[in-house]
Amino acid sequence: MADPKKSPPLTRDSVIAAHALIKEHIHYTPVLTNTTLTDLASTPQAPAALVGTPWVGQEPAKPIIRLWFKCENLQKVGAFKVRGAFHALKRLMTEQGWEEGGGREKGVVTHSSGNHAQALSLAARTMGVPAHIVMPTISTPSKIAATKGYGANVIFSGSTSVKREAVVEEVIKKTGARLVPPYDHPDIMLGQGTLGIELQEQVERMIASGQSEGQSQPKCSFKLDGQGKGKRKGLNAIIAPCGGGGMLSGVALSCENTGISVFGAEPEFEGADDCKRGFESGKRVEIVKTLTIADGLRTPVGVYPWSVIYERRLVRQMFSVSEEMIKKALKLVLERMKVVVEPSAVVPLAVALFNEDFRKMVEKEGGEDGWDLGIVFSGGNVSLEALGKLFEVPAEKAGRQEGKLGKDGEKVAENVAG
């Protein structure tokens, strides 16, 4: 692992420098808008939808929210992780003594069951460096195949972090490979934060031109030309998913001193909202054991990301959502945006659509002008089989639901939105 003390300072300027370093190796992913989802975000939830939530019996919030989606599901390897992997590897390769010490021949190593495994494998292949990837034996076969497809040497391990790290240590002793961690390192954080720089620039340009990349501009009775009440120049806020915190902390750094608020989004199932709980208690939660459907967010926040997210307060607040809210948001994206994303990617959207604490805050602070809210779609690595299982309906319910369908499925859409 590169010495964190030799990493650039954790600042917005360092994120910009990271972008210059890796931009030739990554996709400049599009920002999309969707009128239906923006209208849903700006429509009060039905009182019945709040039954069974902490907000039951409360008057639904009435925010105005214009949604801008940063599509990292269209990034290389299908996720934002490639940004951090390229930045960390290129920084490591410029370290004094790398070439002389045989770094290029010894290569790099990491442990990951998914996106980081593929990201580092691609970065290593591109830079002509061997990659050793420790993956749990229970990893998804498609992710194992993709990692091998990028030319990595895959070594299998047990599923716990202790077992994976033990195998990594064996690989390091045997090969001399350098560790490139998934998220808990300044170089990773700065690389991931480059998506925040792009998102800010893209939305500013799109608002100024009155045009969007790929879809119609969000509605909600506002003017795109900056005329009238409240001149719009760019984003008011960005909300991003949080697992280990590498991307959320990087996005927060990209927004430092810009006036753009940054929020984190987590699943609440089985304590997956460790960063939110840490925020509330003032102490980082170090262990998380959860089987949330947002499998990319099952990791506790790392030490370095926590220093940015909480200790420096560059993330304003954390919000969490239920499994059902995540499924509803995912269904809307698949059916209305026609975009393939994984469950972890829609957790921020679920907050914007269904978390009344967040929505009331936007209503209060945004007023009649509302907010331009950036949503990070973190990745799209999900199999058709997994999606099918997620939405499968018991046979006895299928017949009853079929009778509720109206023209073009509008009744189902209303039920989901409600």
Which residues are 32's β-sheet partners?
A: 69
Question: Has 216 been annotated as catalytic?
Answer: no
Cβ neighbours of 256 (radius 10 Å): 18
Q: For residue 90, what is the enclosing H or E element? A: helix 81-93
For 235, phi and psi rounded to 5 degrees? -70, 145
Instruction: Work out the widest C-alpha separation in the chain, in whole angstroms.
Output: 71
CB 65 within 8 A of CB 371: yes
> CB-based burial of residue 95 (10 Å sphere; 0-12 exposed, 13-18 middle, 19+ buried)?
middle
Residue from 7, 14, 42, 113 carrying the catalytic annotation: 113
Strands (E), 230-384: 237-241, 261-267, 317-321, 371-377
Query: Is 386 strand, coil or helix?
Result: helix
CB 205 within 8 A of CB 234: no
Question: Has 360 been annotated as catalytic?
Answer: no
> CB-based burial of residue 369 (10 Å sphere; 0-12 exposed, 13-18 middle, 19+ buried)?
middle
Residue from 7, 42, 70, 81 carrying the catalytic annotation: 81
Strand 65-71 with 371-377, pairing: parallel
Catalytic positions, written as ranges: 81, 113
